[in-house]
Amino acid sequence: MQTVKDWATLKGFDYQMIDDKLFDYVPDWYKEKANGKIQPISDLARLELAKEFILKGYERTVWIDADILIFQPEQLNINTREEYLFCREAWIELETGSTVEEGKIVCISKVHNALTIFTQKNSFLDFYIYVCKEIVRNTQGKLSSIEVSTRFLTNLHQIFPLPLFKNMGLFSPLNMYGIAQNQNYFTQEYVKLIGAPIYAANLCSSFRNTSFQGIDMNDQVYEIVIEKLLETKGELVNQYL
């Protein structure tokens, strides 16, 4: 979070860290339907927050998730003529039944909202707020943690291409494992998929202290990855472009 604050100062943005007050932006019925899942609650709250700042007169809002690390702040620029932006997601994981030793992987392109930008004149924000509420209101059974974010945005992008920010990575557990263990093959395959230099990355803290496809996502893994990215300013990834 400190890297984000430093970046905001460098680029001349006002900065505000939002704590648990974020949840006050979401109605109680929505929180009940989310059944304790913080992701769909945050997905709506960040939109309501953006709307509030725009109504205060800000010409642009930039939401950045708390688990995003900015390792090359000078190069991370939010210069766009688009009314709004989401992020391109390049995701790699092991094939079903494969191991990290075998290295058989699946590469998937999606859309995520870890970094979200809206301008005053955007035509998408109110629509997205409405959609979030309607999806949650009408969902029967358990609500997926990515129901109103990655799943919705990816599906929409297939029929209505969304403007996407391409200079931010999203690191799956396999990405993290590859960096921490110097298994460069996984990083090379990831770079092929994303196809653009990255100056920041979402480190997917939702996997913290879990095991995914046999990969133990403990704090040591996160610490090693953060240290390497900051030390090399992301060159350990971008060198393979």
Q: Are 92 and 186 in contact (CB under 8 A)?
A: yes
Q: How many CB atoms lie within 10 A of CB 128?
A: 24
Q: Where in the sequence is the domain holding 87, given as residue range(s)? A: 2-238
Q: Are 172 and 194 in contact (CB under 8 A)?
A: no
Q: Global pTM?
A: 0.95
**Would you list the DSSP string of 33-86?**
HHTT-HHHHHHHHHHHHHHHHHHTT-SEEEEE-TTEEES-TTT------SSEEE
Residues 140-176 pLDDT 10s: 989 999 999 999 999 999 999 999 999 999 999 999 9
> In CATH, what number is assigned to the domain containing residue 14?
3.90.550
Give bridge partners of residue 109 from the DSSP assignment. 90
Q: Are 109 and 125 in contact (CB under 8 A)?
A: no
Name the CA radius of gyration of the chain, rounded.
Answer: 18
Residues 97-128 pLDDT 10s: 999 999 999 999 999 999 999 999 999 999 99
- CA 157 – CA 139 distance, rounded (Å): 21
* Separate counts of helices (H) and strands (E) for the chain: 9, 9
- CA 17 – CA 5 distance, rounded (Å): 8
Q: In the chain, how many domains are there? A: 1
Predicted confidence pLDDT, tens digits, the chain (241 residues): 999 999 999 999 999 999 999 999 999 999 999 998 999 999 999 999 999 999 999 999 999 999 999 999 999 998 888 999 999 999 999 999 999 999 999 999 999 999 999 999 999 999 999 999 999 999 998 999 999 999 999 999 999 999 999 999 999 999 999 999 999 999 999 999 999 999 999 999 999 999 999 999 999 999 999 999 999 999 999 999 9
